Structures are given as structure tokens and as C-alpha cells.
Amino acid sequence: EPQVVASVLDKQQQSCGGHVLKALVTDVLKLSGDAAVMRLNPHKPPLHYFDYFLKLDWEATISQRGERSYRTADELIQVAADIDDGKAPPSVTQHRVLAGTFKVREFCSEEEGSDGAWPLLTKVKSRSSECGYQLLEGAEQLQDLLRSKVHRLLYRWAEEYRKHWP
């Protein structure tokens, strides 16, 4: 709603009609592990094994509809030089509402659930104190949708891995 966004962005309400909430994965904080394809018997299909630890950074942000919600490296460097005495800004987005991590301790071929999903731990690290309840609630719902998308992408990666190495 324009009035909620206007209070966060410090703008006039009339100029905030085209803003939306977006959620995105902003960084792969850690990816470690290995994968192997083993053919024990030439007459049987190979065994596909993988075992990774994966930690992703995510953010929910307010941005203009149709525009990218993250800042480029040049923009981040400029912000660091202008405002933060050379320190990196806390967010790759300009108007972060909610931020945190998704973590899969064992993204493993042996641990795949019956529904094709791995346990994905979610941690919220930052909530904007400038946002109202409505905006935070919307950001949390969006974070849940992003989490589902990450689940689908992990499942798709595992399927492609198995198909690529027949």
C-alpha cells in the first residue's frame, strides 16, 4: 500500500504507488562438499552420490515495479565511499525490509525426503524497524515463497545431476 511504503522510503505517498516487495537470494555464503558417480556393475545403472553443505543469504526489499532490486558493485562501492567510511553497506538492496539465511546442513543424495525436499533451515537476521506490521508480514510471506523456490531449485539440480550422468 502506498502509504506504508511512503513511510519507509521517506517519500510522498503519491510517488509510491508502483513499489512492490521482492525477495531474492543475494549470496552463496558457503558451498562445500563433493559429488561422485560410481558404476559398480556395467549392467546396472550408476550410483549418483552428492553431499554438500549449503548456506544462502536472502533479502526481502521494497523496489519499483519492473526495476532491479539490488545495487551493482559500482553502486555499493560508491555508497561505501560516501556514507560508511569505506565499509561495505549492510545490504545489497537499498530498502531492505527483512533478511536472513537458508541453510541445508546435508544437501545429500542419501538424505532426500520422500517429497523431494531437504531440510532447509531458515534464520531471520534483520528486520527493518521502520516498517509497519503489514509490510513485515508481507515480507515474511514472500520469504516463505522464496524458500519454496529454493526447495524446487535444489530438487531440479539433483534431477539434472542424475540425468546428466546416466
Q: How confident is the model at residue 59 (pLDDT cuts 50, 70, 90)?
A: very high
Domains and CATH numbers, the chain: 2-67+96-164 (3.15.10)
CA-to-CA separations, 15 to 2, 20, 22, 69, in angstroms, rounded: 8, 13, 18, 17
Over 90: is that where the pLDDT of 55 sits?
Answer: yes
Lookup: cell for 58: 536472502
The listed range with the strongest mean pLDDT (10-19, 65-74, 121-130) is 121-130
Give the least confident one: 3-17, 51-65, 136-150. Answer: 3-17
- With beta carbons less than 8 A apart as the criterion, state whether 121 and 106 touch: no
4 has a pLDDT exceeding 60: no
pLDDT of residue 5: 53
Mean predicted confidence (pLDDT) in 143-152: 93
pLDDT for res 14? 43
- At 20-44, the pLDDT tens digits run 788 999 999 999 999 999 988 889 8
Beta bridge partners of 6: none
